[in-house]
Structure 1
């Protein structure tokens, strides 16, 4: 069955909204615990009930509050980010040794930051562990495109490797990747463009245009690899990369199988067939809106889609900078 654009958004932004149906939202939260850090009042993530109960948390480092369903790191309120990060690393090391979570088998040796209110840097943790704690993660997604002889847009679409742990064989955005601690959006884009698409740094710096962000709360299913129902709120910094006909993206690592040049109609068909990774569908819909391809005249759910792909997250986030200032 062909998928509508709003169904594609539903598949990516899957966590209930508190204002839409408060009773349903409250019932859904009964499956999750709050992740907190001593000295910070904010909830930093939603942890699946089964995850908290399977973790072997050292009692001197953590307080597991079964009544209020809250997991709190017991470091000093004045602890440094390094001290908090060491507590997380200790718990994860034990979980890996005991093979507690299959999602940790995809260990990346990349560290993701966790921010508190006001953008305070609280700690960092292994990327593969971030969905276990339900923290906000950050990344970049770019759409590389060119124009054919008739002036029509054509988009470079990669297919993910069949051996990737997450969403194997699905279509992706031209360039995409997670931002590690301390990394800025544009520099992350430059790095990922070379690693994934063999796009030279000079071309990316000269052509990439920062065009905003998309945000959503994904709830992982089996295609994501590892445990299901893990909460994954994300902020993706979005870029357009117009290319000339002579610049052709090519796979540079084992993550990408091939690149193909799709017409807009071919992109629409692949979206409707569910061939794109869920958050990549959202980035493409955002591209279509910005380029006047998807409008209020041809999409009945236009205003809802526009709002949903820019979700206000319930957790503290950091406004890294005006993305344009990173150029």
Structure 2
């Protein structure tokens, strides 16, 4: 899961080029999916125009699935999303996923600027998901509104969530569920349990399927990984205290400098995070799999401020996964 982090001293263009470089690397390592996420008005994130960013990544890779993790549906007309992802699927058949969330992906002021006169809101999310799904069905004679491209194309839909609401929507509609443990780790087990208990089979999915979004920072040693992790910790703390920033470089002994309030913020945000050397990563991922997730997705929000460090980290993550 990539937010195309913009580092201090960098810009959005470089961030998006870094995303393509990383996608090509993880494709070579055997990763199955590369997702990007919609966030707005954040100086450290370049993936706001998610479908456009995905087109860039899909065009530069050959086989890895690309998808939104996700599109914040209340920000958009369902027909437009069907057309955008229908276009991606037409250009890259069998490689496109569409994850849907109901949060604005921004603060309320920015949400109003994004949505303008849209009729939808968070409460209408389930019905808008159903409407969007209908646009990917084969067009029927006399159908007044069609998604072109989109109608009849294979675009698997996922429901994203950081609460039990998304779990219930995914279960009711019989869709795969991706939980954002990097946003709400305390809700993870309850949301997964509700999803599995209430799941109803559908044409897309016969049995429940869970993907966990995790913050994972890998390096050659636990000490080096904790050092790299400090970039993400700084960025997260800035965002959660109303001071959004570009991703800063890592610093030594960052946690030792924090007051109790800041420590509590980071403890909550990263309750499910894994940072360490290969063996630490292997044990952490194994534990997460034991918590009933079929798939793990690594959240990329800028765990290292230098691309080479991140590419090395990704190789180590992949090696750890192979040994699970």
TM class by shorter chain equals under 0.3
**TM-score with structure 1 setting the length:** 0.27
Higher strand residue share: 1
**TM-score with structure 2 setting the length:** 0.27
Higher relative contact order (CA 8 A, sep 6+): 1
